[in-house]
Amino acid sequence: MSNNYKCLIADDMHESVIFLLKDIGVTATYLPQITRQEIIDQLSEYEVLFIRSKTHVDEDLLQNAHKLKIVGRAGAGIDNLDEAYLSSKNIAVINAPEGNRDAVGEQTIGMLLSLMHNIHKSHLEVISKTWDRAGNRGIELAGKTVGIIGYGNMGKAFAKRLSGFGCTVLAYDKYRKEFEDEFCTAASLSEIHTSADILSLHVPLTDETRGWIDDDFFSAFKKSIYFLNLARGEIASLNAVKNALEQGKLLGAALDVLENEKLDTLNLEQEKVFEYLSKAANVILTPHIGGWSHESYIKINEVLVNKLNQIINSDVSFT
């Protein structure tokens, strides 16, 4: 393929992406504030489109994309891409989970330790001049069994960081075979339900996983557990999280993602659940920042442009 490619960057990305693209002979147009209609109107000029999470790539967006060969998602999840349509048009998809897996692994550890040792809770109490040592006695991670669902880049990054804590790590991944390594033991979902003290989600949002974590899912655990979701909010019903907390099935929850992250658009039911979670002492909420470190902002660009370069210099043909 000719590498006289033009790339439209339609979302916020670290400025390094422009220079990285230039180094491989791709001309970048950086328009992070571009509207959806403007993308539709201008996309006919480009062979490559880079987006983050705000832009949904579907047939409507690509109606004028006659030259488009590659869509790059600056991040891990590709649930905002219509993969079937892109495949039908022979448009390649690349993403960059390798770029933010370390950030997610570290944030998951941080949220878990904060939850188990009451770090955030006791901080809020101390600054309000409440000195409660007994009420904030922590629970050690050592000796606990951690269940990880999804053992791709993110799940493995978390398991790797758990390796020094003296805990047992069980991993379940429906779509991977022979993935067991020095950081985890492969397990069935039933084994995780039986043995886990802690559950962490690291699966993509798909039709199969949407709404998967519900009341029945939590009820299947033999122990009361700590629950972490740094994957996608739509995978776990927040109402089910609330119910499990109230019933004591969850000892605590750390959520970096929510079903509806546009907090000014919550409906009445969502508002009630959010109010409960935001006031619960054993819940930690963060604004989808798990993979959003200063370092990952740059590493994502490096991964994405490297994959783009591999395609440009490969024998892949687009018809």
Catalytic residue positions?
232, 261, 288
Residue 245: name the closest of 284, 271, 295 by CA.
Answer: 284
Residues 245, 118 contacting (CB under 8 angstroms): no
**Cα-to-chain-centroid distance, residue 305:** 20
Query: How far, in Å, CA of 268 to CA of 274, rounded?
Result: 10
